Amino acid sequence: MSLRDVQNFTARIYTDAQLRREFLSAPEKFGKQNNLTEREISELIGVLPDEINFFADSLFSKRLREVEKLLPLTKRILTTDFEKHFREFAVQYTPESIKKHLEDAIRFAEFLREAEKDWKRDVAKYESAKLEFYAIGTSLVFRRFDYDVKEIFRRIAESPTNFERRKTFAVWLRIGRREFVF
């Protein structure tokens, strides 16, 4: 296996808890199934399981903190559920672009549309659209919401728990150097 393949396999072990458990439970068998040589397997076994788990946890924590920075309102509203949902999301998705944290945040917000209910889903949807416009540089972003996001943001400091359904929309538009938000 090439050095790049070994590095990719190692990265998968660090980021995928299920794969890590499978490897640590039967490293020789699992290594051979993934085309690792005996030397590569023994080198990976040489890294103590505690070190692998520590490194995996630190990678997850870094990834989580970066996404929290990009989705601050969603984090504020979901509180402890934010990390719970992100753990579930992180197992299923690994960003591949150069802007990994940005991609992670946008895809996580999309994931929350299925995981969360009601107005909380719209907050994630709004922040995702805003990231697409400002961070990625998309010229036009249009989103429809089931709740009035302006009302949600106005009342967010009150720790609201319920909002009336009211269809609204938001548009971010860039023409040349001018930006418009409706």
8 Å CB contact between 143 and 169? yes
- Lowest-pLDDT range of 30-39, 44-53, 163-172: 44-53
Tokens (6 digits) for 32: 């051979």
The predicted pLDDT at position 51 comes to 79
Give the residue, 122 or 34, on which the prediction is more confident: 122
pLDDT at 109 over 90: yes
* Cα–Cα distance for residue pair 131/138, rounded to 1 Å: 9
Q: Say how far apart CA 177 and CA 163 lie, in whole Å.
A: 36
The length of the chain in residues reads 182
* Segment 131-161, tens digit of pLDDT: 999 998 899 999 999 999 999 988 887 877 7
Determine the Cα–Cα distance for residues 182 and 7; give it in Å rounded to an integer. 46
Find out whether 67 and 101 touch, Cβ atoms under 8 Å.
yes
Count of CA atoms in the C-beta half-sphere (13 A) of 35: 9
Q: What is the pLDDT of residue 20?
A: 83
Percent of the chain residues past pLDDT 90, beyond the cut: 50
Residue whose entry in the numeric block shows the structure tokens 């961070």: 135
Digit-coded pLDDT (tens) for 79-103: 999 999 999 999 888 888 889 999 9
pLDDT at 48 > cutoff 70:
no
**Is residue 116 within 8 Å of 85, Cβ to Cβ?**
yes
Q: What confidence score (pLDDT) does residue 112 get?
A: 96
Q: Is the pLDDT of residue 63 over 80?
A: yes
Q: What is the average pLDDT value for the chain, to the nearest integer?
A: 89
What pLDDT score does 125 carry? 96
3-state SS, the chain, equals: CCHHHHHHHHHHHHHCHHHHHHHHHCHHHHHHHCCCCHHHHHHHHHCCHHHHHHHHHHHHHHHHHHHHHHCHHHHHHHCHHHHHHHHHHHHHCCCCCCCHHHHHHHHHHHHHHHHCCHHHHHHHHHHHHHHHHHHHCCCEEEEEEEECHHHHHHHHHHCCCCCCEEEEEEEEEEECCEEEEC
Question: Residue 154: what residue type?
Answer: R
